[in-house]
Amino acid sequence: MPRTGLSPEDARRRAVEIALARIREHGFVKLRLAEVARDMGVSHAALYAHFRDKAALLDAVTESWLCEARARTASICAGSAPAAERIEQWFVARYRIKSARAQSDPEIFYGFNEATAGERPVIRDHMRHLREELTALVAEAGLGGRDEAEMLEEAMSAFLHPELIGPGPRPEREAALRRLVRVVLAGLAAEPGPRR
Amino acid sequence: MPRTGLSPEDARRRAVEIALARIREHGFVKLRLAEVARDMGVSHAALYAHFRDKAALLDAVTESWLCEARARTASICAGSAPAAERIEQWFVARYRIKSARAQSDPEIFYGFNEATAGERPVIRDHMRHLREELTALVAEAGLGGRDEAEMLEEAMSAFLHPELIGPGPRPEREAALRRLVRVVLAGLAAEPGPRR
DNA sequence: CCAATTACAAAATTAGAAAAATGTAATCAA
DNA sequence: TTGATTACATTTTTCTAATTTTGTAATTGG
C-alpha cells in the first residue's frame, strides 16, 4: 500500500498538529480519530501504528502543549536575578501562560483539566518537574526545601489552579499574586528554626 | 381539603428536614419534589405554597447546612485569644467543618458545589459574611483590612476550596494549614507601609 | 520489514420517543 | 383567607435502538 512518505517521527508530529488544530476549533471531547486520519490522508487504523490508543495521542498533544510552559519557567530558573525575585517571576510566568490559555483556548484548557485530569502520567510528570524547579529556587533563596516549596505552591493555588484561575492575564490579579508571593516569602524568612 | 395542621414555618422546616435526609441517602441531583411531598403527606403542588420553586427549597436546605458553620466561626470571632491566634482557629474550624462534610456527606457536599455553585445568593451571602468576619479579625490583629483579608482567604484556597479540600479532617493537612496561616500573617506583619 | 490497508468486533455516543418531574391555574374546604 | 387539591402545560430526564467511533487482526505492497 502507498506509504505517506513521512518518517515515524514526522507522522507523529503531524498527527499532533492536526489534532491540536481540530481541538482548538471543535473542542476536546469532539476529537475523532477518523477526522485526524482523514486530514493526514490515511485510514484511522494507521494512527494505531504511531499511538497505542487515543489517550496516547491526547497525551502527545498535552505534551506539546506543556512544552512552551516548561521552556519559559526553565529560562526563569536559569536567570541571574536574586532567587526571591526569580520565584516571583516564575509564578507570574505560570499565571500568564495559564490564564492566557484559559482566555484564548478555553476548549483546550478546560477540556484538559476535565478529560485528562491529574492522574495522567504526562501531567503528573509536569507537575513534579515544576515542583522540582520551585524547590531549587526556594533552596537558592535560603528559605527551605521541599516542604517550603509545597507550601508556596499551595498558597498560590487561587491564582493557578484551573478551577480558580479564570481568563487573563489581568493586571490586578497579577499584582495580587506578586504581593502574595512576597508576603509568603517574607513570612518564611521570618519563621524561627533551622533552614537547610 | 384537609390541612396538615402545621404552621407555615413548621411546614418549611419539615420540608427542609425531609429533603436533607433524602439528599443524604440518594444524592443531590436525584431529589424529587414529589418524594419530599409524599414523605410530608401532601401533594407535590402543596410545596409551592411554601417555596417559590425547587431552587428555593434547595436554598433553604443550603441555609440550614451553612447555619452550623456560621455558628462555629462566629464563636471563634467572639473569643478572647489574641487576634492572630483566632485567625488560625477560624481557618482550622472552616477546614474541619468542610473536610468532615466532604468525608461524611460527599453527596451533599459536592452536589452543592456543582449544582448550586457560587452564583446563588444564599452562598454569596455566606461568603460575604465570612469575608466580613475575617476582615474584622485581620483589622483587630493590626494587619490591615479588606485587601489583606482577601489575600489571606486566597492564600488558603488550597485548604478550603471544595475542588481542593478532599475528605478529612487530616492532621497533616491541618498542620500545613496552621503553618501557612502563620507564615502569611508573619509576612503581612513584615510588609512595609502604613497599616490602618 | 513495516507502514499502510480492509474488515470487523467491541465500546461509546447520539437521537428521539416515552416517561417523569416541575411549575401553573382553577378550585375547594377548614 | 389560605393552605391544600386536581388537572394540565411545559420542561427535564430516562431509556433504548441506531449509529458512530474506537480498537484489533489479518493482510498487502513499497
Please indicate whether residue A168 or residue A45 has the higher confidence score (pLDDT).
Answer: A45
Of the listed ranges A135-139, A167-171, B101-105, the least confidently predicted one is B101-105
3-state secondary structure A126-166: HHHHHHHHHHHHHHHCCCCCHHHHHHHHHHCHHHHCHHHHC
**Separation of CA B16 and C1' C27 in angstroms?**
28
A-B interface: how many C-beta pairs under 8 angstroms? 79
Best mutation target, A138, A146, A184, A195, to test chain B (most B CBs within 10 A): A184
From CA B129, how far away is CA B115, in angstroms rounded?
Answer: 21
Q: Are A171 and A147 in contact (CB under 8 A)?
A: no
Q: What's the ipTM?
A: 0.89
Query: How many Å lie between the alpha carbon of A97 and the closest alpha carbon of chain B?
Result: 20
From CA A23, how far away is CA A61, in angstroms rounded?
Answer: 10
Name the average pLDDT for chain A: 91
What's residue B6's pLDDT?
75
What's residue B7's pLDDT?
79
Cell digits of residue B82: 489574641
Give the model confidence (pLDDT) of A14-32 as tens digits: 999 999 999 998 888 899 9
- Average pLDDT on A35-51 reads 96
**B158 and A159: CB-CB below 8 Å?**
no
B63 membership: H or E segment, kind and range: helix B54-77
Q: Is the pLDDT of residue A133 over 60?
A: yes
Q: Are A153 and A145 in contact (CB under 8 A)?
A: no
Best mutation target, A154, A179, A185, to test chain B (most B CBs within 10 A): A154
**A191 and B176: CB-CB below 8 Å?**
no
**Does the C-beta of B43 come within 7 A of strand D?**
yes
From CA B109, how far away is CA B65, in angstroms rounded?
Answer: 10
What's residue A108's pLDDT?
78
Tell me the pLDDT band of A110, cut-offs 50, 70 and 90: confident
Q: Is the pLDDT of residue A178 over 90?
A: yes
Closest to B154 (Cβ–Cβ): which among A150, A180, A186? A180
Please give the full DSSP string across A9-73, using - where no structure is assigned.
Answer: HHHHHHHHHHHHHHHHHH-STT--HHHHHHHHTS-GGGGGGT-SSHHHHHHHHHHHHHHHHHHHH
What's residue A29's pLDDT?
87
Distances (CA, A) of A183 to A146, B23, B149, B160: 19, 42, 13, 20
Residues of chain B with pLDDT under 50: 1
Please indicate whether residue A195 or residue B103 has the higher confidence score (pLDDT).
Answer: B103
**Could you identify the residue whose CA is nearest to the C1' atom of nucleotide D2?**
B49
Angle among Cα A143, A146, A152 to the nearest 5 degrees reads: 65
Residues in A touching B158 (Cβ below 8 Å): 154-155, 157-158, 161
From CA B116, how far away is CA A112, in angstroms rounded?
Answer: 24
Can you say whether residue A192 is alpha, beta or left, with left for phi > 0 and alpha for psi between -120 and 50 degrees?
A: beta
From CA B117, how far away is CA B27, in angstroms rounded?
Answer: 16
**A161 and B157: CB-CB below 8 Å?**
yes
What's residue B94's pLDDT?
98
A186 membership: H or E segment, kind and range: helix A171-190
Distances (CA, A) of A142 to A74, A83, A148, A185, B105: 19, 9, 11, 10, 43
